[in-house]
Amino acid sequence: MTVEDALLPPSAGPQDAQILPLGQDGILVRFALRAEPWATSAAQAFYDTARAAPLPHMREIVPSLTSVLFRFDATKITRAESARQIGELLSGRDWQAAMPQPAKRIWRIPAAFGGENGPDLEAAAKLAGLSPHAAIEMITSTPLRVLAIGFAPGQPYLGLLPQQWDLPRMQSLNPQVPKGAIAVAVRQLVLFSNASPTGWRQIARTGFAPFRPDAESAVPLRAGDALHLVPVSGDDLTGLLASGDPAGGAICEAQT
Amino acid sequence: MNGQILIRKAGPGLSVQDLGRVGQTHIGLSRGGAADRLALYEAAALLGLSAPIAAIEMAAIGGDFEVTQPTRIALTGAAMRASIDSHPVVWSASHLLQPGQILRIGAAMRGVYGYLSFAGGIEIMPRLGSRATHLSAGLGAALTAGARLPLGADNALETGARVLHCDNRFEGGTLRYISGPQTELFDTVTRARFDQTRFTRSPSGNRQGVALDFEDTKFPAQAPDGLASDFIQEGDIQMTGAGHPFVLLAECQTIGGYPRIGTVLDCDIPKIAQAPAGAPLRFTHVTLAEADRIAATQANLLQNLRRQTTDLIRDPRMIPDLLAYQLISGVTAGRDLEE
């Protein structure tokens, strides 16, 4: 079997995790092409497993929505041997039924919904078949996990929301949402690190800064953290933004 | 002793860049760093350094520079018109710059990114392990006229000027790429057509990536609705819109939703980063085994470049203070002889 074959199993069905190449020093384990709940759970659970495994020549192990990325040190280990070690970690477990470990930390982040802080709330709620009030209720009572950090530094993808939030991205781009904007699409929320154009609908805003380049911990959130959005009024958010607190009033509880 | 670099005039695309930040995918930060990393290796080879260091990257146009203490400099990457006190100086070479002299760097004659390196080093404080400006992440900022940068001491000032004859990577060409996680979302006909298409580098591009122009049919993927966003990286060839290729460069994002047909080899990135608008580009698929073999040849890049440098023979008429030079000497600093 050639290396190419080992990394691209031609017979792999849609239910199998695939071991795929990403660049010259990367191997991606992908559970599904779509962010289905089982695949999101499987990616988190496999990330927990991989992080706990003795893999001395992996420089990075990082989870995404439905995949886990391994970066190997090509001066110490071959691509084929890396793929073999990863395949060993994958074997012998039903990843479709896998559950991630309980979160080690729970964040509570104040967020103001609707109005100027969430100009697309009504439209998004309507697409989800809910009143704006019921939409806020559902989103703030859903236990969210940080599924991935990326796109921009520190920026979390949160999810998954109930099925009715499987909203498509907008046809035309929202030219600019502000730093701290919370936007929704495909059963996920994104909390923007910086002002950005986006095809997602902005439903809320927070004073929480996910990227603090000069702080000791530049990125406070970690993949796997649990997170609740706590609804506050627009005036409360204005106060939190004015205070200059990069946490925007958020608190983090460690779980023992 | 530490000095300063004074930026008297600045083109619009000047920034400090080194090899960037590896291992920061978990916080959503792409490697960033020089768009053409080879140019930093060339500078290290010319200056006799043990590893590449931070330099000033100049997109398309340079600026006017002074230093407060003598240092050797290296000019690498896209060749730009350059002079020291109005005397033209050779590109892809090292030179001595004295306090009071003005180093003037103009427009690129071919290629996109030129690099100005200082043997003493640009000693700004590293952030998250690197001195590289990452504009989209808000790390650092573009350099503007009036800026001052801390300059380290050059302890090998007496080392003679060197020149390096480098392969032309400034006019486009063929880029080798490997399969990636989404290659199989493109059918074999589309993939074959992609490898046969003659592209040109679009005028639209920056440190995050460059778009490609072409005349024929687009390159759509057979992706399912709601394709999950996944990891992306420098070199990835993503199909924006309904199949318009865009090659990601150093300052790209870390997660994206567009399907990608493959990843350009690290050692071919300079060719796409340096391709000027309109330059012809083609892609050729290589196997992972072939890519690994090519990567192995890059292992001793700095030593190999070092061996390719030669003494810069200058026209004595161009040397204003000829009598100040030690013209007969077999003495070197030693570092330039280590292999």
DSSP-derived 3-state class of residue B36: coil
Which superfamily does B173-296 belong to?
Answer: Cyclophilin-like (2.40.100.10)
Residue positions counted in chain A: 256
* Residues in chain A within 8 Å Cβ distance of B299: 75
- As given in the structure block, the two tokens for residue A207 are 């004073």
User: Is the domain of A62 the same as that of A137?
Assistant: no
Give the CA distances from residue A251 to residues A215, A245, B110, B325, in Å, rounded to whole numbers and listed in that order: 17, 12, 54, 67
pLDDT for B328 beyond 60: no
- pLDDT tens figures, A24-51: 999 999 999 988 889 999 999 999 999 9
pLDDT tens digits along B122-159: 999 999 999 999 998 889 999 999 999 999 999 999 99
Averaged pLDDT for residues B278-282 = 97
Number of helices (H) and strands (E) in chain A: give both, helices first: 6, 14
Do A229 and A175 share a structural domain? Answer: yes
Higher pLDDT, B327 or B310: B310
- Indicate whether A225 and A127 sit together in one domain: yes
- Give the closest of B128, B230, B288 to A64, CB-based: B230
- pLDDT number for residue B314: 67
**Contact state of B228 with A26 under an 8 Å Cβ cutoff:** no
Q: B127, B229, B261: best mutation site toward chain A, by most A Cβ within 10 Å?
A: B229
Q: Is the pLDDT reported for residue A6 higher than 80?
A: no
User: Using CB atoms, which residue from A60, A71, A149 is nearest to B28?
Assistant: A149
Domain count, chain A: 2
Contact between residue A208 and residue A112 where contact means Cβ atoms under 8 Å apart: no
Q: Is residue A9 over pLDDT 60?
A: no
Same domain (yes/no): A54, A124:
no
**Amino acid B318: pLDDT:** 55
More confident residue, B76 or B319: B76
Q: Please list every residue in chain B whose beta carbon sits closer than 8 Å to the beta carbon of residue A155.
A: 28
Residues A67 and A114 in one domain: no
- The ipTM is 0.89
Would you state the pLDDT for residue B216? 82
| A56 and A30 part of one domain | yes
Which residues form the domain of A169? 105-254
Q: What's the confidence (pLDDT) of residue B1?
A: 61
pLDDT of residue A236: 97
Residue range A54-81, pLDDT digits in tens: 999 999 999 999 999 999 999 999 999 9
Q: Are residues A175 and A227 in the same domain?
A: yes
The number of angstroms, rounded, from the C-alpha of A254 to the middle of its chain's C-alpha atoms is 20
Cα A43–chain centre separation = 11
- Hey, where are the domains in chain B? 3-166+302-337, 173-296
pLDDT digits (tens, 9 = 90+) for B177-210: 999 999 999 999 999 999 999 999 999 889 999 9
- Tell whether A192 and A157 lie within a shared domain: yes
Contact B26 A32 (CB under 8 A): no
Note if the bond before B301 is cis, omega within 30 degrees.
Answer: no
Distance CA B159, CA B47 (A): 8
CATH number at residue A197: 2.40.100.10
**Shortest CA distance to B62 belongs to which of B118, B131, B130, B116?**
B116
What φ, ψ does residue B135 adopt, rounded to 5°?
-60, -45
Q: Could you tell me if A120 and A222 lie in one domain? A: yes
pLDDT in tens, B20-58: 999 999 999 999 999 999 999 999 999 999 999 999 999
Terminal-residue alpha carbon distance, chain A = 47
Hey, are the CB atoms on A74 and B295 less than 8 Å from each other?
yes
A140 with A240, same domain: the answer is yes
Identify the burial level of B214 via C-beta atoms within 10 angstroms of its C-beta, where 0-12 means exposed, 13-18 middle and 19 or more buried. middle
Lowest mean pLDDT among A170-179, B114-123, B126-135: A170-179
- Contact: A64, B184; criterion CB under 8 Å: no
Q: Which residue in A2, A18, A22 has the most chain B C-beta atoms within 10 A of its own C-beta, making it the best mutation to test that interface?
A: A22
Instruction: Provide the CATH number for the domain around residue A24.
Output: 3.30.1360.40
Domain shared by A154 and A208, yes or no: yes
Contact A23 B229 (CB under 8 A): no
Q: In this structure, are A219 and A166 located in the same domain?
A: yes
